[in-house]
């Protein structure tokens, strides 16, 4: 069980990390301002106590907030579906390589079906890069976006899109340190699908 006030501080730190450019939870070691006296006056302090009771380690609690806020559940503290977001996060984490392989198959099948090239995934020449479009429709997971950016470094090329989709691109960039994966394994999978695409 984690103290309600500490739970609130973890929530605040994760939210600041994912929604602003000025705060990095890793550089600050999760430190945020705020006093217990002020927290004790909050009408929702009982909700933080309830969430804190669910977890025995700070790591799991932090991932709970990361999962919800990264997946778009901004009302995680008040939500009745917050546990579902966390379950999805853990499920993808525990089968990272397998999920990535499935996603690569779906992405390259999509390219073939639409008669698009691999460059169309990342190109900003059109209205929107095809990969970003697939992400917005839910066909591509956030974690897959992180892995692909680690392999392709496409986010700097998408800088011109920040005016419209800055919040979404920030999430992809700032979630990176929370998404662990075996680089050698995902590179093998990625290269396999790239080679297959060039043969078509």
3-state secondary structure of 49: helix
Alpha carbons 50 and 3: distance in angstroms, whole number: 10
Is there a single domain that holds both residue 68 and residue 83?
yes
Q: Which pLDDT value is given to residue 197?
A: 66
**Which CATH number does the domain housing residue 44 bear?**
1.10.8.60
Last residue in a domain, options 22, 57, 92: 92
Neighbours of 176 (CB within 10 A): 15
Is there a single domain that holds both residue 17 and residue 67?
yes
Number of domains the chain is built from: 2
Is there a single domain that holds both residue 140 and residue 46?
no
Regions of the chain where pLDDT drops below 50: 200
Is there a single domain that holds both residue 119 and residue 167?
yes
Residue 47 belongs to domain spanning: 4-92
Last residue in a domain, options 67, 92, 117: 92
Dihedral, CA of residue 175, residue 179, residue 183 and residue 188, to nearest 10? -100
pLDDT tens digits, 42-52: 999 999 999 99
Neighbours of 68 (CB within 10 A): 26
């Amino acid at each position: 069980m984690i103290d309600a006030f500490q739970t609130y501080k973890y929530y605040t730190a994760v939210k600041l990390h994912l929604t602003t450019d000025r705060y990095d939870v890793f550089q600050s070691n999760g430190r945020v301002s705020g006093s217990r006296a002020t927290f004790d006056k909050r009408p929702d302090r009982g909700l933080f106590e309830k969430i804190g009771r669910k977890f025995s380690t700070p790591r799991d609690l932090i991932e709970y907030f990361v999962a919800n806020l990264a997946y778009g559940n901004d009302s995680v503290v008040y939500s009745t579906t917050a546990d579902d977001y966390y379950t999805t996060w853990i499920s993808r984490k525990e089968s990272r390589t397998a999920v990535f392989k499935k996603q690569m198959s779906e992405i390259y099948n999509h390219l073939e079906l639409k008669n698009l090239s691999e460059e169309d995934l990342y190109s900003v020449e059109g209205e929107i890069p095809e990969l970003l479009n697939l992400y917005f429709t839910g066909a591509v997971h956030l974690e897959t976006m992180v892995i692909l950016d680690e392999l392709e470094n496409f986010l700097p090329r998408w800088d011109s899109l920040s005016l419209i989709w800055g919040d979404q691109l920030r999430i992809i960039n700032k979630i990176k340190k929370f998404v662990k994966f075996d680089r050698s394994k995902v590179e093998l999978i990625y290269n396999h699908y790239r080679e297959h695409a060039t043969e078509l």
